[in-house]
């Protein structure tokens, strides 16, 4: 079909830089009695989430699958002054492109009968997955075969403006600021525990940080931050925000998306079993 690009080219787009005009008193990150900064005990590095590993698993798919191009807007975005304004920009720049990329990839795998044990997932706001005890992540990866809002969130994510969270806060000389770094991690860690999810992420207007739970005790492994404006080409690919979020979706499509350490820690196992049955029925149609 004319005027189509490879999935790899599509995901190499750099996101536009978003200028900020922070409020004079930005306030703290979200707090709740269910989670706190001290819940995060150890932070390591997730070495396996990188461009080489991605290409080793999915290079053929990324090169062979094709879809219409969707260039970024050329007009520069206005400065954001609030968290909701950033979410609006993420909804405009990121959500639809990651959704289309996931759909294109899964459609290609089904067409060549190589879906294997992957469960097709999509990417959208947190309410598209099950909402547990009124906790709503900003984003969700969820099985497309399930009715909206009924399945587990396979990799919860949260969006933060850079004046509230950045990787630089981890080494700030003030303890209170360092705690803000871990507070945001504890928030997503809580969502991950609720859904028995192994993976999650934080996205700001400056960087994307993907991470995974090692256990249920607050030990995380983080991927080195991916700059918001990172871009590349099919000939010289880079780990962009779009490519990383697509890759996280492909990881979330695998059976290993769950991290359950004991039977007692499966309060929503019934929903997961329901998801599996629904997906199986859909494939057999």
Domain count, the chain: 1
Residue 213 in any domain: the answer is yes
- Residue 182 CA to its chain's centroid (Å): 18
pLDDT band at 26 (very low <50, low <70, confident <90, very high): confident
Residue 264 in any domain: the answer is yes
How does pLDDT run across 217-247, given as a tens digit for each residue? 999 999 999 999 999 999 999 999 999 999 9
Residue 194 in any domain: the answer is yes
Instruction: Name the residue with tokens 């598209």.
Output: 128
Q: What was the pLDDT predicted at 1? A: 55
Range of the domain at 99: 5-16+39-284
Residue 21 in any domain: the answer is no
Residue 26 in any domain: the answer is no
Beta carbons within 10 angstroms of residue 141's beta carbon: 32
Residue 32 in any domain: the answer is no
Q: What was the pLDDT predicted at 170? A: 97
In the predicted structure, residue 263 carries a pLDDT above the cut 80? no
How does pLDDT run across 81-115, given as a tens digit for each residue? 999 999 999 999 999 999 999 999 999 999 999 99
How does pLDDT run across 12-24, given as a tens digit for each residue? 999 999 999 999 8
CB burial of residue 89 (10 Å; 0-12, 13-18, 19+): middle
Residue 269 in any domain: the answer is yes
- Residue 246 CA to its chain's centroid (Å): 8
Q: DSSP labels for 127-169?
A: GGS--BTTB--SEEEEETTSPTT-S--SS-EEE--TTT--GGG
Residue 69 in any domain: the answer is yes
In the predicted structure, residue 64 carries a pLDDT above the cut 80? yes
């Amino acid at each position: 079909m004319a005027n189509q690009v490879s999935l790899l080219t599509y995901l190499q787009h750099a996101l536009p830089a978003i200028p900020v005009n922070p409020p004079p008193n930005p306030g703290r990150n979200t707090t709740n009695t269910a989670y706190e900064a001290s819940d995060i005990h150890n932070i390591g590095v997730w070495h396996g989430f990188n461009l080489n590993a991605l290409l080793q698993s999915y290079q053929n798919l990324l090169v062979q699958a094709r879809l219409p191009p969707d260039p970024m807007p050329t007009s520069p975005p206005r400065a954001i002054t609030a968290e909701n304004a950033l979410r609006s920009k993420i909804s405009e720049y990121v959500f639809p492109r990651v959704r289309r990329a996931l759909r294109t990839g899964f459609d290609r795998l089904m067409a060549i009968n190589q879906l294997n044990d992957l469960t097709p997932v999509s990417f959208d706001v947190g309410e598209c997955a099950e909402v547990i005890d009124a906790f709503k992540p900003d984003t969700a990866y969820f099985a497309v075969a399930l009715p909206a809002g009924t399945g587990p969130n396979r990799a919860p994510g949260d969006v933060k403006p850079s004046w509230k969270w950045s990787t630089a806060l981890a080494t700030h000389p003030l303890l209170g600021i360092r705690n803000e770094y871990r507070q945001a991690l504890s928030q997503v860690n809580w969502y991950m525990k609720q859904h028995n999810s192994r993976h999650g992420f934080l996205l700001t207007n400056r960087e994307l940080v993907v991470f995974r739970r090692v256990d249920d005790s607050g030990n995380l492994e983080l991927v080195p931050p991916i700059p918001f404006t990172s871009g590349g080409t099919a000939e010289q690919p880079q780990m962009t925000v779009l490519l990383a979020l697509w890759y996280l979706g492909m990881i979330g499509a695998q059976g290993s998306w769950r991290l359950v350490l004991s039977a007692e820690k499966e309060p929503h196992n019934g929903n997961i079993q329901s998801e599996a049955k629904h997906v199986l029925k859909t494939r057999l149609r």
